[in-house]
Structure 1
Amino acid sequence: MATRLFIARHGKTMFNTVGRAQGWSDTPLTEEGERGIRELGRGLREAEIEFQSAYTSDLGRTILTLDIILEEMKRPRLPHTRDKRIREWCFGSMDGGYDVDLFHGILPRIFNRSHKELSYKEMANGIYEADTAGWAETWEQLSGRIINGFTSIAQQIEAGGGGDVLIVSHGMTIGTFLSLIDPNYEKTTYIANGSVTQVTFDDGKFTVDTIGDLSYREKGAELIAQETH
């Protein structure tokens, strides 16, 4: 049986809403964010995917997201594990600051280029250089923990006979993972809150199936609307 990773981005949070860099800092899901994840959970239930287990990062926004998904899927007892390797980037002393200051100010000044033109490696090195607190990770540390985290999860599922696993992680972490397993990946598809990126693991190799898929959320929203009228 193939091993498939369904990687959801957590629901929209307070910092997401006001445009603050939310790395290792954490804020709760907003009412809109919780609603979007209820839609996702309902859509996944309708799709009848038989998840073997679930994983989140160790940050509260992913844990709450999974709780809501499992409630909507009516699978509260699905085994789930927290793995800090799939947590978000650390923005160091800029964590919690405004996105515009980091991505449109600090990084462009370091490289004299728009942040959209920068690779993940360049962005990580820029953040590491600009961090005055000494908290940010080097690219080697960051990329190493992310690829190790997702690979370890995939290997565990494969060793148990394969199947589907649900993972809740973070926008830049998911994008970094995609860039590490697919050299042709470009940061063109926005990984929205509540979207699902699907990856297949077979014979030690990852294949990207879909990126930032919102169809589960859209179907769930449609079903919830029908059920409440």
Structure 2
Amino acid sequence: MKSRRTLRVAIAGIAAAAMLFSFSAFSAPIAESAKATITRAGNENNGKNAEVDIYLTRHGKTWLNETGRMQGWSDSPLTESGVLDAEHLGRGLAKADVKFKSAYSADMLRHFQTISLALGELGYKDEAVRDERLREVSFGKFEGATQAEVLTAVKPYLTGGDPKAFLAAIVKANGTSALPAETYQQVGARATAALNDIAAAQAKKGGGNVLVVSSGITIMAVLDTLGADTSSLTAGIENAAVSKLVYKNGTWTVVSMNDKSYVEAGAE
């Protein structure tokens, strides 16, 4: 499988926001895997001081990705290519002799399909635990809308071209809708809290590898919350890409981001 690459671009104004958004909500080619190592404090009372390696992975491509529509708390099944990526992910991890002690996913179909297919290739016998805190950001009344519709609606509220500014504009454009829209900080906080709980629980069991499947903006928000330099990820997180996080003694280290090597190895 060919590695997909894009040029690193400057982010400014609505044009850049559209590019960032098009990957975060949908599927598009992105830059090759970036690497970073940083640390941030997690839970303090984590029981045993065993190391926990989190393989934080985006779900495979979905029907709503394919049709260019907003997919936050909305859901749709994997496309054929999404299924293949999930299977290739599992095969690639197996080739690398990565064995998992536990597995978690967001609570929606696309996440559970992805992790179940990957774990099937790994011979993992248990079912992944679903945690709603790992789901994608909520886009409020814009759920299911097209990218063009959303860009038109949020343009008057945009103050920059980064994900934080874009989601803040969506919150403002969402107005008094009964359907909640989340900020970048909110999704980062809830997903990081979930990972803290997952890692602390696994540390008490002696540590080991944990597979976690979430969504693109959520993963970006987690990486930023943990202090990683995500400036190279100008187009977001690719479908089925892995970001490896290490948790030890209540501290997080981000080892890699947006790594497609397992999927590529599994496709060979």
Name the TM tier (shorter chain): 0.7 to 0.9
Q: Quote the residue 2:92 is aligned against.
A: 43
Of 102, 125, 129, 2:168 maps to: 125
Identity of aligned residues (%): 33
Paired residue for 1:105?
Answer: 152
Whole-Å separation in 1 of the counterparts to 2:247 and 2:52? 5
- Aligned match of 1:181 in 201, 226, 231? 226
Gaps of 5+ in 2: 1-49
- Looking at secondary structure, tell me which structure has more helix per residue: 1
- Name the structure 2 match of 1:53: 102
Separation of aligned partners in 1, 2:199 and 2:142: 32
- The answer to whether 1:32 aligns with 2:86 is no
Give the equivalent residue in structure 2 for 1:145.
Answer: 190
- Normalised by the size of structure 1, how large is the TM-score? 0.87
Superposed displacement of residue 18, structure 1:
1.7
Deviation digits for residues 137-182 of structure 1 (CA, Å, limit 9, x no counterpart) = 4435433312211111111111212111000110010001001001
Partner of 2:102, secondary structure, is strand
Give TM-score, length-normalised by structure 2. Answer: 0.75
Query: Helix, strand or coil: the match of 1:210?
Result: strand
For the 8 Å contact 1:6–1:167, the answer to whether it is kept is: yes
Verify the 8 A CA contact 1:189 1:211 in the aligned structure 2: no
For 1:89, the equivalent position in structure 2 comes to 137
Partners of 2:189 and 2:222 within 8 A in 1 = no
- Aligned-CA RMSD value: 1.8
Tell me whether 1:73 sits opposite 2:122 in the alignment.
yes
- The answer on 1:204 being equivalent to 2:250 is yes
Cα distance in 2, alignment partners of residues 128 and 190 from structure 1? 20
CA contact 1:89–1:173 (8 Å) conserved in 2: yes
Letter in 2 for 1:97: A
Q: Assess if the C-alpha contact under 8 Å between 2:116 and 2:127 holds in 1.
A: no
- Render the CA deviation track for 1:62-103: whole Å, top value 9, x for unaligned: 01111111111122x13521100010001010011112332x
